[in-house]
Amino acid sequence: MEEYIELAVEMIKKGFDERKIKARLPRENADEIIEIARARIRAKDKFSRRDLWMDLEGLRYATHEAVAEYRAKRVKPESIADVSCGIGIQLIFFAKYAEEAYAIDIDERKLFYAMKNAEKYGVKEKIKFIHGDSLSEEVIKQVNADVIFSDPARPPEMPERRLEDLLPSPLEIYEAYKHKTDAFIFDLPPQIRREKVPWKGEFEYIDLYGQLNRLTFYFEPLAKAERSAVLLPKGVRLESNPDLENIIEWSEPKEYLYEIPQSIDYADLINELFHTVKGKLYMLLREKRRVLATSDDEIKSEYFKRAYVITGIVKFHPLRINEFLRREGFGRATLRISIPDSEYWRFRRKVENNLKGERRAYIFQYKDKAIIAEPI
């Protein structure tokens, strides 16, 4: 079937319609082949390999390769079971460092894809593949692992994220396997309130290419701190330290501007960040989607998402912003503001009206002002 998947990939890339693609494929597998092909095309930024097996749902929920590699290196288990493995990416990377691994999924097709992918990465012989409900006695008795990992499915958006709403629920997984081990790892929604998690351990928030990607909860035997933030692919890590003096001060905009990663904000590690950087930082803005700090002197740190020099501050109005940009010779503008989708393009068109040149400005909103900055 591999040759048909490769054929479908090429035909999709060339713009053939589905009817013509199906005419070149085995009738009984055509739909599945086309979906795997579409998933491979979309997966180019998620995995280093181009020959993995997955459907579109499996791709959506699969762990990014950079995250999978980081967590596998951190844990390096002797044996581990993934009780909701999907197409298997995270377990495959765990298996690179483990002596033995268990892949469990209730979806037989997903488990088959996990097996094919394990073969591609060269770890298939280390993994026992189990089709079934990970909460059933029949499955539980087959597992003898030091660590239990689960990345449960998230329900549709709800007012509040709760453990009991995840599938399978971490609460049920813990009860089912606690007689086998005290080392569990759960992928949780980053928005979940930490006080809702009833166990002791570490909350590790992971940023990937500047976006919050994962919250991983490690039970106490695997924990290194109460809270942590990791920035990938840089690989830098920040840990909570309750003994630090609170040195956070707030200020109006100064000469320089810094975007603080969401993982650091969600992990409540801003004070730890201020202690880590070499220079005097001030807090400027803390919103759900954006956290900004400022300073008099330039501060360099690998913990910042981006750093800027402030070129001007004007009234937050598209015409006043546009006037400043044209006067200062900016040709492009990137909006770093929270604005309703219905208003975004109209606002942006006014900001960029008659701009010329390659110089790019970044626009932030602070109270009733627009901060105009250039990246350092």
| Domain boundaries along the sequence of the chain | 2-45, 59-199, 256-375
With a cut of 70, say whether residue 158 has pLDDT above it. no
Confidence of residue 16 (pLDDT cuts 50, 70, 90): very high
On whether the 59-199 domain is CATH 3.40.50.970, my answer is: no
| Pairing mode of beta strands 306-315, 256-259 | antiparallel
Confidence of residue 73 (pLDDT cuts 50, 70, 90): very high
- Cross-strand bridge partners of residue 301: none
Angle at 285 between CA 283 and CA 288, to 5 degrees: 125
With a cut of 70, say whether residue 191 has pLDDT above it. yes
pLDDT, tens digit, 9 for 90 and up, residues 234-270: 999 999 999 999 999 999 999 999 999 999 999 999 9
What is the C-alpha to C-alpha distance for residues 153 and 167, in angstroms, rounded to an integer? 5
Residue 304 dihedral angles phi and psi, to the nearest 5°: -80, 145
Mean pLDDT, all residues of the chain = 96
Nearest by Cα to 367 from 296, 292, 316: 316
pLDDT of residue 121: 97
pLDDT of residue 145: 98
pLDDT, tens digit, 9 for 90 and up, residues 77-104: 999 999 999 999 999 999 999 999 999 9
Q: How many CB atoms lie within 10 A of CB 187?
A: 23
Residue 43 dihedral angles phi and psi, to the nearest 5°: -85, 5
